[in-house]
A and B are shown apart, each in its own frame.
Chain A
Amino acid sequence: MGVRGGARLYAAVAVRGFRRYATYRVATLAGVFTNTVFGFVVAYTYTALWSVRPRLGGYDLPQAVTFVWLGQGLLMATALLGGGNESELVERIRSGDVAIDLCRPANLQLWWLATDLGRAAFHLVGRGVLPMAAASLVFRLAWPSGVAAWGCFLVSVALGVVVSFAIRYLVALTSFWLLDGAGVLLMAALLATFFSGMVLPLTVFPGWLGTLARALPWSAQLQVPADVFLGRHRGTGVLWALAFQAGWAVVLLGAGQLVQSVATRKVVVQGG
């Protein structure tokens, strides 16, 4: 039983997370539409920028445009503008409903990780594929060169989701102390938007700011998967990129477990 039973439980939770979003078809279509329109606007902006500064950040034009569409495609999956399921957790902490979650023989973090993976899987398909397909009709995109490259990209996206979740989970836990989590969530969303590379690829930033930005965990959410997609790593470089993401995932999930155990021991579950 042990680990296998646990894995089956969390798999069931993830499937449920997926299905839950799958019921909102209209919202998904509206999202795809917005992503696509936005993608076009940003792609043309990048085109203008790259025609003035060719090879900016080390990307040629097709790579830069592909970067834009990857940003739109991963927007929901790795929660580049925030907005995964953490606001729900914040609400449960605030209302005290988290008491119910804590009464279950399951790890709170793994539980929410599982729901978030389900959510991300849905958004990767529901919100990722269509905008990319639309873009490929209009723009010249830089595609991965083979099955192995696609595989590495998917692994990288999965790790990006985990890192993204781990950060958002930590942020959500602060509401055990602050009770009103809205401000912190907004702050975290802003950091993610910039440091993931959503505003501009992080390779564009020179000097220490660029170095710092690329070393921070948010880069695992877009910059790293995009570079894997674009094949910018040679040989074992890809493995290092994935290891970078995995390292952050482990560190941040571990931090989450730690904060979680402090939060549930020292802090009060609200409500009667």
Chain B
Amino acid sequence: MDALIQLDGVRKEFEVRRRAGLLRRERRTVRAVDGLSFEVARGEMVGYIGPNGAGKSTTIKMLTGILVPSGGRLSVAGVDPSRERTRLARRIGVVFGQRTTLWWDLPLRDSYELVRRIYRIARDRYTANLEACVELLDLAELLDVPVRQLSLGQRMRADIAAALLHDPEVLYLDEPTIGLDVVSKAKVREFLRQVNTERATTVLLTTHDLTDIEQLCRRVMVIDHGRLVYDGGLDGLHAVGESERTLVVDFERELPPVNIDGARAVRTEGPRQWLAFPAAASAAPLVAELAARYPLVDLSIREPAIEDVIARMYGGRDEASRLPG
């Protein structure tokens, strides 16, 4: 595997001081990233998710070199980011969803022109890349508008284009779909898919919208309290997240909650009942048994939503952290 991004036991601690009483100040160390190890191969598109404060943005900042890790080793394209930040900067693209690289008081086109100079992009490359971005991200109407007049979604699309004009090998996206409407989200996703497949750009994508992940990433990493808690395919999440499928059954008449091995009734509403069973188990024996023992009219199966799976993973964290010690 040609690993483009490598992390080995990476840690980042923040010292925070806060007032404790009138004069006393309390020093506390926050472990934002706590022994993180993973690799991302060239050309991969990886989802990087986790609850608020999990350490995602901190990881991305270390990967760009603007934060120095407190420990561990880190390399991007063979370079230690914090040591050679400026050199690496030519080879990476970054989008911080809540911030902008564009110049507030300049028309979009001038911002891009400045980007061309910053990265010293050859004229023909620049023209070709800009044309592609303008078409796919629907920016044509916006090129002569000052950035301060763009809506959030327009600005975000413009920012994504700005991060790709210099053909970066790696693209870090920290919540690139935050605040976008459905149409813009679809456009951005389609664009990212193209960038990843056609230019083989490696993409690390942070988001709270799991649809982004479902539609774009074959691999997903879940981070929590600065630690990697899952790394693998999307479907594998179901097994790890102990997710359940639901059997919705309609009986001929109202019945007390059914009692059946391998499933439990979670809800009853007249003749209809909801039975939960492990997502990894087969539904066939359950259905057979139900049909044999009860007056069955109709049934359907609901797959667990990825949101629920993730929510359960994050939720489990809270319970665990409530334990003493």
Contact = CB atoms under 8 A, between A and B. Distances in A.
Q: How many residues of A sit at the interface, in one of the four size bands?
A: 20 to 34
Contacts of B87: 105
Contacts of B105: 20, 23
B301 interface: no
B196 interface: no
B85 A102 contact: yes
Contacts of B100: 100
Given A99-B66, A264-B66, A105 B86 contact: yes
Nearest to B111: A16
Given A102-B66, A107-B86, A9 B117 contact: yes
A107 B68 CA distance: 18
Contact of B118 (A9, A96, A99, A268): A9
Contacts of A16: 103, 106, 110, 114
Contacts of B110: 16
B294 interface: no
Given A100-B99, A268-B14, A272-B98, A105 B114 contact: no
B184 interface: no
A100 B96 contact: yes
B57 interface: yes
Interface string A255-271: 00000000011101101
Contacts of B89: 103-105
A265 B117 CA distance: 26
A5 interface: yes
Contacts of A103: 64, 66, 89, 92, 94, 101
A269 B118 contact: no
Contacts of B90: 105
B114 A268 contact: no
Contacts of B103: 16
B38 interface: no
B67 interface: yes
Contacts of A5: 117, 120
B75 interface: no
A12 B99 CA distance: 23
Contacts of B101: 100, 103-104
A265 B68 CA distance: 6
A99 B114 contact: no
A266 B94 CA distance: 22
B82 interface: yes
Contacts of B99: 96-97, 99-100
Contacts of A268: 14, 67
Contacts of B57: 272
Interface in B95-151: 96, 98-101, 103, 105-106, 110, 113-114, 117-120
Contacts of A9: 117-118, 120
Nearest to B12: A268
A272 B86 CA distance: 21
19 contacts: A12-B114, A16-B110, A16-B114, A23-B105, A99-B66, A99-B96, A100-B94, A100-B100, A100-B101, A102-B85, A103-B64, A103-B66, A103-B92, A106-B86, A107-B86, A266-B68, A269-B61, A269-B66, A272-B57
Interface of B: 14, 57, 61, 64-68, 82, 85-87, 89-90, 92, 94, 96, 98-101, 103, 105-106, 110, 113-114, 117-120
Interface of A: 1, 5, 8-9, 12-13, 16, 20, 23, 96-97, 99-100, 102-107, 264-266, 268-269, 271-272
Give the 6 A-B CB pairs with smallest separation, nearest first. A105-B89, A272-B57, A9-B117, A102-B66, A105-B90, A103-B94
